[in-house]
Amino acid sequence: MAFPQQKMKPKSKSFNRPFSKIVNKKFIYTVISVFLFYLFFLRSNNDNSDSSNYNYSFSPNNPYQHLPKEHGIYNDQILTSDPLIYPSVQYAPFLRELTLSKLFQSKTDENGNLHYVYDQDLDESERLFSDDDTANGNNDNDNNDNDLNDLNYDENLNGLALNKKSKSDKNNNHDDYHDDLNIDQPYDDNEDDEIHFKKAKKSFKNHGKIVFDARNNKSPDLVIVTSLDFEKFELTHLTKVITNRIDYCKANNFGFYSRWVQEFIPILQKHNSNKSWVKLMIMREAFHAFPNSKYFWYLDQDSIIMRYDLNLINYLLAPSILNPIILKDQPIIPPSGAIHTYKNIKPQDIRFLITQNENSIDSTSFILINDIYGKAILEFWQDDLFRKYTNFQIIENALTHILQWHPVLLSKTALLPPRTIASLHSVMDLPKGGDHLHYYPGDLVVNLKDCEARKSCESEFESYYQQIDKN
Ligand SMILES: *[C@@H]1O[C@H](CO)[C@@H](O)[C@H](O)[C@H]1NC(C)=O
Ligand SMILES: *[C@@H]1O[C@H](CO)[C@@H](O)[C@H](O)[C@H]1NC(C)=O
């Protein structure tokens, strides 16, 4: 006897699988949507977090209200026509001696914890040092005087931020920073230490305000970004790092942007975050300082550029060159992760380039392109939610998560083989021609990853520095 139901059975079974898949997918989408809405409300109701800078209620009349503030971590800015922006490294020993507790004022938060704060976040009455100490300083013959008194206040277009602009670039003695790089004569012997400490502090508090005057000067196509740590390295080493970048930039008409890691400590303290997040914060500051530049190349202070004759744009970034080099259909977690990079990615769609070594993505050297996707990747990666999460104290883990869960961002990302922009230093001899991972003479960059553990950053750097082909 053939009951209709029984006849139907095999048919319904064959539908069973795809149907349950659809249900599962629908279920997953619903869970994700509910979760996102939850985050959305959590964030927009929490006035104490960074999210207070954002306004999520959309108004077509003012779409820009959704964007973060239009300035860097400081409210003030100082314009320069010089595309090489870096801190006065000769003050590094003084800064280290001053320690953070003298460079920042502290404030007790609602939980009773002491936090470093930026001067601009203190009320007038709370400030221990006057503006003379930090910005003006006419009383100590300081030639790094940046004339903050002469700055004009100018309401910016979105009304989000109050930007200061200097009347003319000539008022601003940014060039003095460069003369300062002469380490044989780091300071005038006639001056006593107190003045050096004062100048060091002033330079520390003002360096981050300098931005490139992109309105009146041609912007460099590419900007190299490096964070510098005065607690980790000696003056001679810091000077070599900066000189290396500057020589390369001068040979190729690129810009350079560098900041002290320590400037960002008040932000890191908020979630007790790993110092390595600072590189993303400095990248954001670089985007702000060079609004019209296209490429931003972040390169750790533990890396050395070995080939001044290789122009990164012509050598790697031109789409026809990039196309055969990028790793397509490559597991994001090597060697066998489930999520792969896109097979059919077009080089002109790429906004983010980063290398991958044998174990993971490697954030010591990466390139971002200045448009809404490049900025989105940068903002996403350093979002408060990621920085709070303890498993993401290794910032590569946060990035791996983003690339595996956000196809839009993955579709703008290319993984590169390490020897393009992050060849690793090898402690062992290499076969002739090298391998796929380690530095071999002729490569653009050598990366001294983990040199701190080997306690040999400075000696390794010096030995490569001697080998640079400066032509
Ligand atoms: C957000 O923007 C809307 C529309 O412009 C405005 O009505 C509202 O007051 C703003 N909310 C905040 C917290 O600024
Ligand atoms: C901070 O980041 C570095 C570099 O990724 C890592 O080696 C270190 O273990 C991290 N520290 C913590 C406490 O997770």
Ligand 2 pocket, mutate which of 393, 447, 452, 454 (most atoms under 8 A from CB): 393
Cα distances (Å, whole numbers) of residue 80 to 5, 168, 225, 348: 81, 9, 17, 32
pLDDT range class, residue 251, cuts 50, 70, 90: very high
Asked if the structure places residue 266 within a domain, the reply is: yes
Please state the atom number of ligand 2 nearest to the C-alpha of residue 274.
Answer: 1
In a domain, 143, yes or no: yes
CA dihedral (341, 342, 344, 345) positive or negative: negative
Identify the band that residue 398 occupies on the pLDDT scale cut at 50, 70 and 90.
very high
The mean pLDDT of 133-144, rounded to a whole number, is: 38
Structure tokens, 452? 């701190």
pLDDT at 219: 97
Q: What does the pLDDT average to over 336-365? A: 95
Q: What's the token pair of residue 468?
A: 């640079």
Question: Which atom of ligand 1 is the closest one to the Cα of 61?
Answer: 5
Are 206 and 338 in the same domain? yes
Pairing state between β 352-356 and 361-369: antiparallel
- Name the DSSP class of 152: E
Domain identity same for 42 and 117: no
Residues with CB under 6 A from ligand 2: 274, 276, 393-394
Tokens describing residue 337: 């992760």
Please compute, for residue 291, the number of CA atoms within 13 A of its CA located in the half-sphere on the CB side: 12
Indicate if 272 and 418 belong to the same structural domain.
yes
Nearest C-alpha neighbor of 416 from the set 351, 307, 320, 328:
328
Q: From the CA of 395, how far away is ligand 2's center (Å)?
A: 8
Q: What is the mean pLDDT of residues 369-375?
A: 94
Q: Could you tell me if 184 and 223 lie in one domain? A: yes
Chain segment 215-249, per-residue pLDDT in tens: 999 999 999 999 999 999 999 999 999 999 999 99
Strand partners, 298: 225, 366
| pLDDT for res 435 | 94
The stretch 145-157 carries a mean pLDDT of 30
Tell me what pLDDT residue 302 has. Answer: 94
Residue carrying structure tokens 């207070």: 52
Output 47 or 114, whichever has higher pLDDT.
Answer: 114
For residue 60, give the ligand nearest its CA: 1
Q: Round to whole Å and give the CA distance between 224 and 299.
A: 7
Does one domain contain both 285 and 406? yes
Per the structure, the count of domains in the chain is 2
Specify the residue with its C-alpha closest to ligand 2, atom 2: 394
Q: Give all strands of the β-sheet with 303-305 in edge-to-edge order.
A: 303-305, 445-447, 423-424
Closest CA to 264 of 309, 341, 204, 211: 204
Q: What is the pLDDT of residue 166?
A: 33
For the residues 18-35, what does the mean pLDDT come to? 71
In whole angstroms, give the CA distance from residue 134 to residue 198: 8
Which residues sit opposite 227 in a β-bridge? 259
Domain match, 284 and 200 both: yes
Q: Are residues 36 and 101 in the same domain?
A: no
Residues 406 and 332 in one domain: yes
pLDDT of residue 54: 56
Contacts 24+ apart (CB under 8 A), 315-318: 315/444, 316/353, 316/416, 316/420, 316/421, 317/353, 317/367
CA nearest neighbour of 421 among 309, 252, 307: 307
Q: 74 with 121: CB under 8 angstroms? A: no
Owning domain of residue 44? 23-56
pLDDT per position as a tens digit, 419-468: 999 999 998 899 998 999 999 999 999 999 999 999 999 999 999 999 99
